[in-house]
Amino acid sequence: MQEGNKEPIRVIIADDHVLYRAGVKTSLSTKKDIKVIAEADNGMHLLNLIKNIEVDVILLDIQMPIMDGIATLPEVKKIAPNAKVIMLTMVDDNSMITKLMELGANSYLTKTSDSEVIYEAIKTCYEQEYFFNSLTNKALLSNLKQRNPVTPQQLSPQEAQLNEKETLILRLMCEEKSTKEIADIVDLSPRTVEAIRDRLKVKTGSKTTAGLIMYAVKHKIIEEM
């Protein structure tokens, strides 16, 4: 959220379990910077909602009747391209996580995540586009290893020339540090850190922050987490 902007982050919960929705809504109700503006019990219901109301972050369950989260995700991105989507599931499945990230998911949480993790994921996705955690990092890493069983020697010709500060900032991004935290560590302004992040995208040919993380993993800038 921009500094000085008092508007809370608008959240919709899409899950077919009434008790789960109620639990999340209750836990988030204590946070002044978040407002649950609507609930949906399936994907079709969610799509109808977002045609008429503006939403910042959607908590989207994968398994729902009528229209599940996997089918709903690409449609959400068409109707509300700026909305951030956090997928919810009971299953820790690497191939599923990678598929959903490629379809446009901004994070992936198990439904056993506590309320503080959900709150942190909502805020981070809203402010920085993605919320990476051990689940997403592990999935991206294992998927890259399966797709690209290449040696570092084979990679070096294509490797972008990153300077020491760029490499450090990329490492810190992989450690889930916020822009402000990175700025404090490297002694730069948050705006300069954002400019370096944009430059990293150009240098590495990455379109998104997720692409940067995948680049860092592939080029051994970070080791397995």
CATH number, residue 155? 1.10.10.10
In a domain, 165, yes or no: yes
pLDDT of the residue at 143: 62
Q: Do 93 and 25 lie in a common domain? A: yes
Q: Do 168 and 119 lie in a common domain? A: no
pLDDT of the residue at 91: 72
Residues 1, 80: Cα–Cα separation, whole Å = 18
Choosing from 74, 98, 131, the residue where a domain stops is 131
The CATH number given to whatever domain includes residue 63 is 3.40.50.2300
Residues 177, 88: Cα–Cα separation, whole Å = 22
In a domain, 3, yes or no: no
Q: Do 95 and 182 lie in a common domain? A: no
Three-state secondary structure call for residue 89: strand
Q: Do 41 and 100 lie in a common domain? A: yes
Q: Do 156 and 126 lie in a common domain? A: no
Q: Do 116 and 170 lie in a common domain? A: no
**Contact (Cβ atoms closer than 8 angstroms) between residue 83 and residue 58:** yes
Q: Do 18 and 124 lie in a common domain? A: yes
In a domain, 48, yes or no: yes
Tokens representing residue 123 in the block: 């805020």
In DSSP notation, 1-70 reads --TT--PPEEEEEE-S-HHHHHHHHHHHTT-TTEEEEEEESSHHHHHHHHTTS--SEEEEESS-SSS-HH
Question: Could you list the residue range(s) of the whole structural domain that residue 19 is in?
Answer: 9-131
pLDDT of the residue at 4: 47
Q: Do 204 and 152 lie in a common domain? A: yes
In a domain, 180, yes or no: yes
Three-state secondary structure call for residue 194: helix
Tokens representing residue 15 in the block: 């899950």
End-to-end CA distance of the chain: 29
Q: Do 161 and 195 lie in a common domain? A: yes
Residue showing tokens 């490629």? 102
Q: Do 193 and 97 lie in a common domain? A: no
pLDDT of the residue at 145: 55
Choosing from 106, 131, 156, the residue where a domain stops is 131
Tokens representing residue 141 in the block: 């890493």
Q: Dihedral (C-alpha) 96, 101, 106, 111: value to the nearest 10 degrees?
A: 0
Q: Do 72 and 163 lie in a common domain? A: no
In a domain, 211, yes or no: yes
Residues 6, 147: Cα–Cα separation, whole Å = 44
In a domain, 55, yes or no: yes
Q: Do 120 and 197 lie in a common domain? A: no
**pTM greater than the 0.85 cutoff:** no
Residues 167, 217: Cα–Cα separation, whole Å = 12
Q: How many domains does the chain have?
A: 2
pLDDT averages per 10-residue partition of the chain, 225 residues:
69 95 94 95 96 96 92 94 92 74 85 89 89 70 56 44 86 84 90 87 79 77 57
